[in-house]
A and B are shown apart, each in its own frame.
Chain A
Amino acid sequence: MNEDTRPDAALGLEGVPHTGEAIDDQGMLVEPQSEDFKSAKPASANPSWFKGAVFYEVLVRAFSDSNGDGTGDLRGLASRLDYLEWLGVDCLWLPPFYASPLRDGGYDISDFRAVLPEFGTVEDFVYLLEEAHRRGIRVITDLVLNHTSDAHPWFQQSRQDPTGPYGDYYVWSDDDSRYSDARIIFVDTESSNWTYDPVRGQFFWHRFFSHQPDLNYENPEVQEAMLDILRFWLDLGIDGFRLDAVPYLFEEEGTICENLPRTHEFLKRCRKVVDDEFPGRVLLAEANQWPSDVVEYFGDPEIGGDECHMAFHFPLMPRIFMAVRRESRFPISEILAQTPAIPENAQWGIFLRNHDELTLEMVTDEERDYMYTEYAKDPRMKANIGIRRRLAPLLENDRNQHELFTALLLSLPGSPVLYYGDEIGMGDNIWLADRDAVRTPMQWTPDRNAGFSSCDPGRIYLPVIMDPVYGYQGLNVEAQLNNTSSLLNWTRRMIEVRKQHHAFAEGDFSELGGSNPSVLAYKRLWKRPDGREDIVLCVNNLSRFPQPVELDLSEHRDYTPLELTGGVKFPSIGELPYLLTLPGHGFYWFQLVEAGDDSEMR
């Protein structure tokens, strides 16, 4: 066979098991199987672990470099697990670490069954899983279902052999006129959802970049092949997937080709594989849409949900920023009031920062939302909420605000997702291209390369932050570990408090209102299996000025609020509104303890 047309030519995976190293006598590509590798011991059995878990998004490239080549890797990440365990992290979320030409941050996957060589090997990943599970930490990763890289051997086979076993793996057409109602997502770079392939002499369909052809889900073999990829990693011991770009799997003439019923049917098949073969693993939907539309991806509420276990709540994040900027709780209250109930076995993922952002283009119905009147017209909001800034610089390095935001993240309904480095208040480097601003190396120590890598500083994948405020010499894990009042120690303490009260995880959420618009107060109520109640009261001052608030807590007359970080008892609740005063950007977490019950109940 000609060297250039080998299906695996573009992968750069010589010497490690990968898709297409051989072709069997039916013309099928030989793919690595999970049996070829050692599997990690599964994490402890607890089917609803994700409802109370603290997630931590970590870029493998940015966290720790074990081999001194200037790029973070899986072994490096594994070496930092003690730190993550100490912090209280329950689950790591890794953006894609698969083999990829990296033309879309690794979301352009060229082999679903191999690891990007810079990051290590499948064996290294299993090692990471093993070490994580040993510490009670789970690991999930992104999986792109909708498309592959054009370097994927499937695509190479498909374009070269239209009648072969992979001929129908992608959406091919003789012209570019079909599905004309589907919008173009990357309008800046793509002019059509169809691109002509001179090799096959046909157009192929792509909802994202033209180097990412969409898989053809009409073909049952594609569905099976993708389910087998889920099984491959689940067999190795992975704890779940964030399913990327799920609304676009199927196409149908006359529709916008998003959220089609058959897309949901396929997700139900994925869920069934998990439930039947790998109970306790989770699927998290990436659907950057309004909560009322996203809930569809949890599946049938009658049976507790039968598609994804989790989905991100995208609009909450900009609303938190807007609420603090406006010193008004309504931006948050409104979006929570608009958020529908979710199935019993489902949970939202909430975040302050991650590598995705809410795009205003997503919000189509102007009537139901004031994103357009408030957010889009405020240049500072528009610029700041983008993906190029980290939390600390967004909050002008104000410790009080940082704490308030973190307290909101840890107490609003949903599982919190922290972004690596925000626990120490890391800065960003806006001079780097695009999203690299927030992807600089984790700052571990004041040593060379911030302790991230032992490489020659010139070789590092991105320069470490060196400015006088956020520079690694002063701002790093080691320094903050040694300082009991550091943001890191504070964050750890709050995570610990959160874990002591299951109300934060699964408690019913009810807002308490009150006459002061700058104070957001809510209650989380968890009915314990033994019938008793764990009630947590959270009161947040969104204003920079001190504020009083009177809360109607008469439903809990004679209860005593017990402050959760220090255990101080506040005056008991009576018939009259309960008066609290808060410092600027201050907040309280209380447990409401019944009269006569002196112990803190959990």
Chain B
Amino acid sequence: MIDPDELADKLVTTLPDVLPTLRWFGGKDRPINAVRPLRTTPLSDEMVHVIVEVEQPGRSEEYQLIISEHSDGFDATADPDRNGLLLEKIAAGEHVDGITFAHEQGVELRTSLRGRPIGVEQSNTSLIYGQQYILKIFRKLARGENRDLVMHRALRSVGCEHIALPLGSISTELDGEPVTLAMLQEFLPDAVEGWDMAKTSVRDLMAEADLHADEVGGDFAGEACRLGHAVAKVHADLAEALGTRLADDDAITHAIEGMQRRLDTVLDAVPELSRYEEPLRATFEEARQHIGAIPIQHIHGDLHLGQVLRTVHGWLLIDFEGEPAAPAAERNALKSPLRDVAGMLRSFDYAARQLLIGQPDDDQLAYRAMEWTKRNRAAFCDGYAEVAADPRDNTHLLRAFELDKAVYEVAYEHANRPEWLTVPLSSIARMTSGGE
């Protein structure tokens, strides 16, 4: 049995040294002034749930840990011998001192499974239980119900077929506001990320210098078409579950101004963009003229090939958190579904050219990449149009969203991956000169 008071004392002294060594800790950029335990909740004889406040110069953030003396580094979240307890409590729907473990309505869970942490994550910890469930434990806590969970619940309520089903959650309240601690979902062991699927296709094309994109064995158009279909279905399901309305003039103005403002900022940072400034601004303005009354609704918000999974039952969309850098209010705002479409179309461009990055210039391969992009963008739109209006019917708006996204990419690549800067820049060059 762990003594909570003893534990609190121990955390205060050890955590400032330990936290910076943990992968999920998001405050590695500055020193830790103090760590204050806000709440300790015993979950069993040997496990305690802890929420701590980490004070750093200029900010104070809350994190959660699950402590056990038996575990390495004493955080037991990733300990397969112990983390089965979390699943058991969700299955049983327990309330433990202000922490609510709940399964979704009508869901029955198998227990006595070991949770294996997946290795690739940065800011959270995800456990896979027996190849059936995945529990995503949010490390840094945010006030308000988690958007991913809210969207998944809404989609499940209308029987959406293109998501991994939400199965349960762990939540609590801090200062009277709801806080989502973890989300349990169906795990799909057969799933492959859209990015890897696309990469397989592009690799095949690039190895065949003399065949066109529609002739090679690894053609992706069929998949892209089915993916477009799935995305349109999810949009329709979100509209059914959470409603849709027509954007008013203010909203449109706000959106266009947002694009112009982003452009201002990026122009300051990336001088290479300046020669496209005029046509970019013109495109955004043109969109404003041609928009009319467009429907807006809840959308995915950060859609790209890394946010879709291919399974034997078709394509799924994952991670409805919305644009990672945006504030909560912005992420929850109603938007045009064409933003998601634009995000995916941009992603096709990235997928086609990823193998050219860091390689000597090769016109032939660049031409093939262009062919691949065109073919799969068109196939995606064809699939989307099987369910909803053809996105290409709204050219001005779609183009504005794509260019806005590309401007964002320019900033991102400039700051993080300069060798990739050529991808968004050449797309901007193409689109502003009348190309697709």
Partner-B contacts on A (CB < 8 A):
324-328, 330, 333-334, 337, 370, 373-374, 377-378, 511-518, 543-545, 552, 554-555, 575-576
| B218, A373: Cβ atoms closer than 8 Å | no
| B190, A511: Cβ atoms closer than 8 Å | yes
Question: Which residues of chain A are within 8 angstroms of B196 by Cβ–Cβ distance?
Answer: 515-517
**In the complex with contacts A333-B190, A370-B226, A511-B190, A327-B310 CB distance below 8 A:** no
Cα distance, A518 to B312, chains bound together (Å):
14
| B217, A330: Cβ atoms closer than 8 Å | no
The answer to the question of B16 belonging to the interface, with a C-beta cut-off of 8 Å to chain A, is: no
| B312, A545: Cβ atoms closer than 8 Å | no
Question: Which residues of chain B are within 8 angstroms of A545 by Cβ–Cβ distance?
Answer: 203, 207
| B312, A333: Cβ atoms closer than 8 Å | yes
Query: Nearest Cβ in chain B — how far from A378, in angstroms?
Result: 7
| A370, B189: Cβ atoms closer than 8 Å | no
- Of all chain B residues, which has the CB nearest A554? B116
Please list 14 pairs of residues, one from A and one from B, whose beta carbons are closer than 8 Å in the complex, sorted by A's number.
A324-B217, A327-B201, A328-B200, A330-B310, A330-B312, A333-B312, A373-B225, A378-B219, A511-B190, A512-B189, A515-B192, A517-B200, A544-B207, A576-B119
| B189, A327: Cβ atoms closer than 8 Å | no
Query: Nearest Cβ in chain A — how far from B7, in angstroms?
Result: 27
Cα distance, A593 to B77, chains bound together (Å):
31
Digit string of B54-92 for contact with A (CB within 8 Å is 1, else 0)?
A: 000000000000000000000000001000000000000
The answer to the question of B193 belonging to the interface, with a C-beta cut-off of 8 Å to chain A, is: yes
| A513, B222: Cβ atoms closer than 8 Å | no
Question: Which residues of chain B are within 8 angstroms of A543 by Cβ–Cβ distance?
Answer: 200
Partner-A contacts on B (CB < 8 A):
80, 114, 116, 119, 128, 130-131, 188-193, 196-197, 200-201, 203-204, 207, 217-219, 222, 225-226, 310, 312-313
**In the complex with contacts A517-B196, A517-B197, A575-B80, A373-B312 CB distance below 8 A:** no
| B191, A513: Cβ atoms closer than 8 Å | yes
CB < 8 Å neighbour of B218 from A327, A334, A370, A575: A327
Cα distance, A398 to B204, chains bound together (Å):
17
Ranked nearest first, the 6 interchain pairs of A and B with the lowest CB-CB distance are: A513-B190, A325-B217, A513-B189, A337-B312, A517-B192, A374-B222
Cα distance, A334 to B225, chains bound together (Å):
17
Question: Which residues of chain B are within 8 angstroms of A373 by Cβ–Cβ distance?
Answer: 222, 225-226
Question: Which residues of chain A are within 8 angstroms of B310 by Cβ–Cβ distance?
Answer: 330, 517
Cα distance, A66 to B226, chains bound together (Å):
56
Count A-B contacts at CB 8 Å.
Answer: 67
| A515, B312: Cβ atoms closer than 8 Å | no
**In the complex with contacts A515-B192, A517-B196, A337-B313 CB distance below 8 A:** yes
Question: Which residues of chain A are within 8 angstroms of B191 by Cβ–Cβ distance?
Answer: 513
Cα distance, A378 to B219, chains bound together (Å):
9
Query: Nearest Cβ in chain B — how far from A349, in angstroms?
Result: 23
Query: Nearest Cβ in chain A — how far from B70, in angstroms?
Result: 16
Question: Which residues of chain B are within 8 angstroms of A554 by Cβ–Cβ distance?
Answer: 114, 116
Cα distance, A513 to B196, chains bound together (Å):
14
- Of all chain B residues, which has the CB nearest A337? B312
Among B131, B190, B218, B310, residue most surrounded by chain A Cβ atoms (within 10 Å): B190
CB < 8 Å neighbour of A515 from B193, B204, B217, B222: B193
Cα distance, A333 to B197, chains bound together (Å):
14
Query: Nearest Cβ in chain B — how far from A339, in angstroms?
Result: 11
- Of all chain B residues, which has the CB nearest A324? B217
| B218, A326: Cβ atoms closer than 8 Å | yes
Question: Which residues of chain B are within 8 angstroms of A330 by Cβ–Cβ distance?
Answer: 192, 310, 312
Cα distance, A512 to B188, chains bound together (Å):
10
Cα distance, A471 to B63, chains bound together (Å):
73
- Of all chain B residues, which has the CB nearest A518? B200
Query: Nearest Cβ in chain B — how far from A553, in angstroms?
Result: 10
Question: Which residues of chain B are within 8 angstroms of A326 by Cβ–Cβ distance?
Answer: 200-201, 217-219
Cα distance, A325 to B226, chains bound together (Å):
19
Cα distance, A377 to B197, chains bound together (Å):
20
Query: Nearest Cβ in chain B — how far from A491, in angstroms?
Result: 25
**In the complex with contacts A326-B219, A330-B310, A370-B222, A552-B200 CB distance below 8 A:** no
Among B116, B130, B191, B200, residue most surrounded by chain A Cβ atoms (within 10 Å): B200
Cα distance, A333 to B189, chains bound together (Å):
12
- Of all chain A residues, which has the CB nearest B204? A327
Among B188, B193, B196, B217, residue most surrounded by chain A Cβ atoms (within 10 Å): B217
**In the complex with contacts A328-B197, A373-B225, A334-B312 CB distance below 8 A:** yes
Cα distance, A516 to B195, chains bound together (Å):
11
Cα distance, A383 to B116, chains bound together (Å):
47
Cα distance, A576 to B80, chains bound together (Å):
11
Question: Which residues of chain A are within 8 angstroms of B313 by Cβ–Cβ distance?
Answer: 337
Task: Give me 17 other A-B pairs in contact (C-beta within 8 A), A327-B204, A517-B196, A518-B200 excluded.
Answer: A325-B217, A326-B217, A327-B200, A327-B201, A327-B203, A330-B310, A333-B312, A377-B222, A513-B191, A515-B196, A517-B192, A517-B200, A543-B200, A552-B131, A552-B189, A554-B116, A555-B130
Among B80, B119, B192, residue most surrounded by chain A Cβ atoms (within 10 Å): B192
Among A328, A333, A544, A555, residue most surrounded by chain B Cβ atoms (within 10 Å): A328
Cα distance, A326 to B203, chains bound together (Å):
11
Query: Nearest Cβ in chain B — how far from A24, in angstroms?
Result: 61
Question: Which residues of chain A are within 8 angstroms of B200 by Cβ–Cβ distance?
Answer: 326-328, 517-518, 543
Question: Which residues of chain B are within 8 angstroms of A328 by Cβ–Cβ distance?
Answer: 197, 200, 218
